[in-house]
C-alpha cells in the first residue's frame, strides 16, 4: 500500500492503509493558513518518508483522538466566518425590510386614531383623507381651530374631557415618530446604496434597488440573474401557477413599483417591464463588478427614450 | 410507555399516533420549542420540523446510527434535526454540520458551544473540495438541501462515507422541477442513485413534509 501525505486543518500526516505512520500537528488554526509554514513542514516529512505521495483530495481516516481537535478548529473557523460574512448589503436589506414593517405597522394604527378621533371631531377625519396629513393636522391644531378653518360652527363630535383627548394625541405623536423614522431609513438606504450599488440605485431609485437586493439575498445573486428572472421577482407564485397550466403569465413582480411602469396602460406593461428588467440586469452587473458608477444614468436615459418610442409607435398604430 | 428502539431513541404509543423521543444530551435544556419528558431527560422529536422525524413516523424501522458515530450533515440549517442526531451519537460522537448560509450558521454556532459534538462548517456542499481539510471519514451521511442538483451533491459527498455504511437523502421534488409530476421525479432520482449506491428504503414524507421523499442508501 502506498503512502500518502495529507494536509488538513489539524496537521500534516503520512497515511498508509488508513493508519497514521507519521504526523506533525499544527499548534493553532493560523498554521493551516500559513502556506510557507505548511510547505516547510511537508518537505520535512517527505524527506523522512520518500515513498509518500502528496494528495489534495483524500479523505482523512477516522481517528477518535482527533475528533475533539476537529471540533475546536471548526467552531473557531465558523465563528470567524460568521463575523466576516456580514457585508454592507445585509445592513441595507435589514433597513429595507424595516421600512416595509413600519409601513405595515403605521396603517392600522392611523386607522385606529382616525376612528378614535372621530368620536371627538369627525369633521377633521372627513376633511383630510391622507394619513400623514391627518396626523399632522390633529397634532398641530386643536378642535376649535380645525372647525374654524372649515367654517363649521357646530361639531357633531362629543365634548369629551381633556384627559380623554390627550391619550389620542399621545398615540398620534408616536405614529408621527414612526413616520419620521421611515424617512430617515430611506435616507440611510439612499446613502448606503451610493457605495454598493450606485447604478442600480440611479436607475430604479434607492428603495426599489434595496428591495431587489433584499429579495434575491445579495447583489452577487442579482448580478448573476438573467433579466427575465429579475422581471418576475416577487411574482413567483403566479409564475409557477402559470407553468402548471393555470392562470395567465405575470408580466412583472416587485418592479411594478417603478412609477413609469405603475402608471402605464395594461397593454404596455409587459413591454415596459421587459425593457426595465433588461436595464436593471445590466446595472446590477456593472455594480457587482465595480464598474463606472455613473453609467446608471445613461441606462436610465436610454430606457426612458426606448419607452417613449414604444408608446409613440403604439399610438400611431391604434 | 416508552419503548427503546435503539440506544438513545425511544418511541411512545399514544392515541394520536407514535411519538419519538431522544435521550437529552443536556438534561433539562431545549433546542427549539420541543417538549421535554422525564424531568428533561427526553426530548420530543418534532415530526413537522425534522425530515428524519417524519421518516420515523412513516415507518423507518431504525436509524443506521449508533453511539459514538461520526456524521456528516449537509444542509444543517439552524440545527433542529442536528440536535437530535447529537443526542443519539452522544458525547463521544461527532457531527460535521455543513451549512451555506451564515445567517443559519450563527444559530448552529451557539448550539455547538453547548453541545460539544457538533462541528459547524460554513461551506457550500456543492464543493466538497473546499471543506475536505475540515472533515474526516464518517459513519453516516445525511443530506437535506433544497437545490436543483441535490442528488448530484449527495453523490459527490458520498466519498466521505465509509464503505458499507449507510446514508440518507431527503429529496425535495419542487426544487428539482416545479411543474413535473413528483412521482416521475422520484423515479428519476431513484435511477440516478442506483447507479452509485444500493437503495434500502424510501418513502414519501406526506403529510409531514409536502413533496418530499426520503431515501436510505448503502454505499457499496
Q: pLDDT digits over A283-309, tens only? A: 999 999 999 999 999 999 999 999 999
- Is A120 in contact with A160 (CB distance < 8 Å)? yes
Cβ separation of B135 and A244 shorter than 8 Å? no
Contact A177, A102 (CB under 8 A): no
* Helix (H) or strand (E) segment spanning residue B193: helix B182-194
Q: What is the pLDDT of residue B212?
A: 94
Does residue A14 carry a pLDDT above 80?
A: yes
What is the structure's pLDDT at A49?
Answer: 86
A64-73 pLDDT, tens per residue? 989 999 999 9
Average pLDDT for residues A42-65, to the nearest whole number? 86
pLDDT of residue A302: 94
Q: Please tell me which residue of chain A has the smallest CA distance to B159.
A: A59
Model pLDDT, residue B178? 87
pLDDT at B121: 94
Nearest residue in chain A measured CA to CA from B180: A244
User: What is the distance between the terminal CA atoms of chain B, rounded to a whole angstrom?
Assistant: 38
Residues of B in contact with A75 (CB under 8 A): 109, 112-113, 119-120
| Interface check B152 vs A, CB under 8 A | no
Residue A97 has a pLDDT of: 94
Tell me the pLDDT band of A318, cut-offs 50, 70 and 90: low
- Quickly state the pLDDT bin for B16 (edges 50, 70, 90): confident
Task: List all residues of chain A from 59 to 98 with a beta carbon under 8 Å from chain B.
Answer: 59-64, 66-67, 70-71, 73-75, 77-79, 81-82, 85-86
C-alpha distance from A135 to closest chain B C-alpha (Å):
38
Residue B63 has pLDDT above 70, yes or no: yes
Which residue in chain B has the smallest CA separation from A62? B137
Q: What nine digits make up the cell of A144?
A: 376649535
Question: Crossing angle for the helix pair A162-196 and A131-140, nearest 10 degrees?
Answer: 130
Which helix H or strand E contains B74, and what residues bound it?
strand B70-74
Which residues in chain A have their CB less than 8 angstroms from residue B102's CB?
81-82, 85-86
Tens of pLDDT, residue by residue over A126-140, are 888 899 999 999 999
A-chain residues within 8 Å CB-CB of B129? 56-57
Tell me if A114 sits within 8 A of A134, measured CB to CB.
Answer: yes
Q: Are B43 and B79 in contact (CB under 8 A)?
A: no
Span A157-185, average pLDDT: 94
Grid cell at residue A73: 478548529
Q: What is the DSSP secondary-structure string of chain A? A: --EEEEEETTEEEEEETTEEEEEEE-SSHHHHH-HHHHHHHHHHHHHH-TT-EE-SS-PBPP-HHHHHHHHHHHHHHHHHHHHHH--HHHHHHHHHHHHHHHHHHHHHHHHHHHHHHHHH-HHHHHH---HHHHHHHHHHS-HHHHHHHTT-SS--S----HHHHHHHHHHHHHHHHHHHHHHHHHHHHHHHHHHH-HHHHHHH-HHHHHHHHHHHSSHHHHHHS-HHHHHHTT-HHHHHHHHTT-SPPPS-SGGGGSHHHHTS-HHHHHHHHHHHHHHHHHHHHHHHTT--TTHHHHHHHHHHHHHHHHHHHHHHH-
Q: How far apart are CA A4 and CA A21, in angstroms?
A: 10
Please tell me the distance in Å from A80's CA to the nearest CA on chain B.
10
Bridge-based pairing state of the strands A11-16 and B212-219:
unpaired
Does A240 sit within 8 Å of B135, measured CB to CB? no
**Residue A154: predicted pLDDT:** 87
- Whether B192 and B151 have beta carbons less than 8 Å apart is answered as yes
At residue A316, the pLDDT reads 67
Q: Is residue A1 very low, low, confident or very high in pLDDT (cuts 50, 70, 90)? A: low
Distance CA A75, CA A81 (A): 10
Q: What are B194-213's pLDDT values in tens digits?
A: 999 999 999 999 889 999 99
CB-based contacts of A79, cutoff 8 Å, min separation 6: B109
Indicate whether A266 pLDDT > 60: yes
In this complex, which of A7, A60, A82 lies closest to B102 when CB atoms are compared?
A82
Residue found under cell 360652527? A153
**Confidence band for A317, pLDDT divided at 50, 70 and 90:** low
Closest to B94 (Cβ–Cβ): which among A70, A79, A82?
A70
Containing H/E element for B141? strand B138-143
Check residue A70 and give its pLDDT: 92
Residues 16-45 of B with CB under 8 A from A: none
Please determine, for residue B158, whether its predicted confidence score (pLDDT) is greater than 70: yes
Cell output for A112 = 385606529
Instruction: Tell me how far CA of residue A168 lies from CA of A108, A179, A240, B146, in angstroms.
Output: 15, 17, 46, 50
- Per the CB < 8 Å rule, is B178 touching A66? no
Q: Is the pLDDT of residue A108 over 70?
A: yes
Question: What is the tens place of the pLDDT at every residue in A213-245?
Answer: 999 989 999 999 999 999 999 999 999 999 888
- Please work out, in degrees rounded to the nearest 5, the angle formed at the alpha carbon of residue A233 by the alpha carbons of A228 and A235: 105
Question: Would the pLDDT of B1 be above 80?
Answer: no
Minimal CA–CA distance to A197: which of A228, A218, A227? A218
Q: Are B98 and B125 in contact (CB under 8 A)?
A: yes
pLDDT at B38: 85
Q: Do A70 and B136 touch (CB under 8 A)?
A: yes
From A60, A71, A244, residue closest to B94, measured CB to CB: A71
A240 contact B CB<8A: yes
CB pair distance less than 8 Å for B136 and A75:
no
pLDDT in tens, B40-50: 899 999 999 99
Is B179 in contact with A240 (Cβ distance < 8 A)? yes
Q: What is the mean pLDDT of residues A137-158?
A: 88
Query: How high does pLDDT run on average in chain B?
Result: 92
Q: For chain A, what is the radius of gyration of the CA atoms?
A: 31
> Between chains, do B94 and A59 touch, taking CB under 8 Å as contact?
no
**At B198, which helix (H) or strand (E)?**
strand B197-204
B136 closest CB neighbour out of A7, A61, A244 = A61
- The pLDDT confidence band at residue A313, using thresholds 50, 70 and 90, is confident
Domains and CATH numbers, chain B: 2-46 (no CATH), 56-219 (3.40.50.150)
Which pLDDT score is estimated for A23? Answer: 87
Please indicate whether, in this complex, the C-beta atoms of A61 and B138 are within 8 angstroms of each other: no
pLDDT category at A152 given cuts 50, 70, 90 is confident
Query: Each residue of B98-144: pLDDT tens digit?
Result: 999 988 999 999 999 999 999 999 999 999 999 999 999 999 999 99
Name which of B157, B191, B136 is nearest B75 in CA terms: B157
Interchain CB distance below 8 Å, A62 and B134? no
- Across the interface, do B160 and A240 touch by the CB < 8 Å criterion? no
Q: What is the pLDDT at residue A56?
A: 77
Predicted pLDDT at A34: 87
The pLDDT tens digits for A194-218 are: 999 999 999 999 999 999 999 998 9
Give the single-character DSSP code of B33: S
Amino acid at each position: 500500500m502506498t503512502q500518502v501525505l495529507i494536509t488538513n486543518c489539524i496537521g500534516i500526516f503520512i497515511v498508509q492503509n488508513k493508519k497514521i505512520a507519521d504526523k506533525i500537528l499544527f499548534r493553532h488554526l493560523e498554521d493551516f493558513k500559513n502556506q510557507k509554514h505548511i510547505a516547510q513542514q511537508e518537505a520535512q516529512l517527505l524527506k523522512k518518508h520518500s515513498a509518500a505521495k502528496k494528495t489534495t483530495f483524500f479523505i482523512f481516516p477516522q481517528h477518535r483522538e482527533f475528533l475533539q481537535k476537529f471540533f475546536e478548529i471548526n467552531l473557531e473557523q465558523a465563528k470567524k466566518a460568521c463575523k466576516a460574512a456580514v457585508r454592507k448589503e445585509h445592513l441595507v436589506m435589514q433597513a429595507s425590510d424595516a421600512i416595509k414593517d413600519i409601513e405595515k405597522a403605521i396603517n392600522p394604527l392611523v386607522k385606529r386614531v382616525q376612528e378614535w378621533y372621530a368620536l371627538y371631531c369627525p369633521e377633521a377625519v372627513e376633511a383630510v383623507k391622507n394619513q400623514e396629513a391627518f396626523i399632522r393636522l390633529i397634532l398641530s391644531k386643536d378642535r376649535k381651530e380645525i372647525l374654524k378653518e372649515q367654517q363649521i360652527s357646530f361639531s357633531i363630535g362629543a365634548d369629551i374631557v381633556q384627559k380623554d383627548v390627550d391619550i389620542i394625541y399621545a398615540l398620534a405623536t408616536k405614529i408621527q415618530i414612526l413616520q419620521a423614522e421611515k424617512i430617515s431609513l430611506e435616507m440611510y438606504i439612499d446613502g448606503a446604496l451610493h457605495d454598493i450599488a450606485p447604478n442600480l440605485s440611479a436607475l430604479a431609485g434607492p428603495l426599489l434597488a434595496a428591495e431587489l437586493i433584499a429579495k434575491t439575498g445579495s447583489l452577487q445573486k442579482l448580478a448573476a440573474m438573467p433579466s427575465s428572472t429579475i422581471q418576475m421577482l416577487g411574482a413567483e407564485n403566479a409564475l409557477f401557477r402559470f407553468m402548471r397550466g393555470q392562470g395567465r403569465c405575470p408580466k412583472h413582480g416587485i418592479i411594478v413599483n417603478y412609477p413609469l411602469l405603475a402608471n402605464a396602460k395594461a397593454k404596455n406593461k409587459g413591454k415596459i417591464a421587459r425593457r426595465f428588467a433588461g436595464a436593471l440586469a445590466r446595472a446590477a452587473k456593472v455594480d457587482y463588478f465595480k464598474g463606472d458608477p455613473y453609467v446608471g444614468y445613461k441606462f436610465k436615459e436610454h430606457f426612458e427614450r426606448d419607452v417613449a418610442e414604444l408608446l409613440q409607435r403604439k399610438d400611431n398604430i391604434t | 410507555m416508552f419503548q427503546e428502539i435503539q440506544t438513545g431513541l425511544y418511541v411512545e404509543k399514544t392515541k394520536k399516533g407514535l411519538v419519538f423521543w431522544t435521550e437529552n444530551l443536556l438534561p433539562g435544556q431545549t433546542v427549539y420549542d420541543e417538549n421535554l419528558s422525564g424531568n428533561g431527560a427526553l426530548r420530543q422529536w418534532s415530526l413537522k420540523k425534522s425530515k428524519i422525524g417524519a421518516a420515523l413516523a412513516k415507518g423507518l424501522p431504525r436509524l443506521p446510527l449508533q453511539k459514538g458515530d461520526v456524521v456528516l450533515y449537509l444542509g444543517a440549517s439552524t440545527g433542529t434535526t442536528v440536535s437530535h442526531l447529537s443526542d443519539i451519537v452522544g458525547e463521544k460522537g461527532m457531527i460535521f454540520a455543513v451549512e451555506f448560509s451564515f445567517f443559519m450558521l450563527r444559530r448552529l454556532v451557539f448550539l455547538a458551544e453547548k453541545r460539544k459534538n457538533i462541528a459547524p462548517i460554513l461551506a457550500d456542499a456543492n464543493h466538497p473540495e473546499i471543506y475536505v481539510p475540515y472533515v474526516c471519514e464518517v459513519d453516516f451521511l445525511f443530506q437535506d438541501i433544497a437545490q436543483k442538483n441535490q442528488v448530484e451533491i449527495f453523490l459527490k459527498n458520498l466519498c466521505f462515507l465509509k464503505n458499507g455504511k449507510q446514508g440518507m437523502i431527503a429529496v425535495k421534488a419542487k426544487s428539482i422541477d416545479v411543474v413535473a409530476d413528483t412521482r416521475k421525479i422520484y423515479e428519476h432520482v431513484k435511477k440516478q442513485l442506483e447507479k452509485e449506491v444500493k437503495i434500502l428504503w424510501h418513502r414519501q414524507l406526506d403529510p409531514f413534509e409536502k413533496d418530499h421523499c426520503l431515501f436510505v442508501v448503502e454505499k457499496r
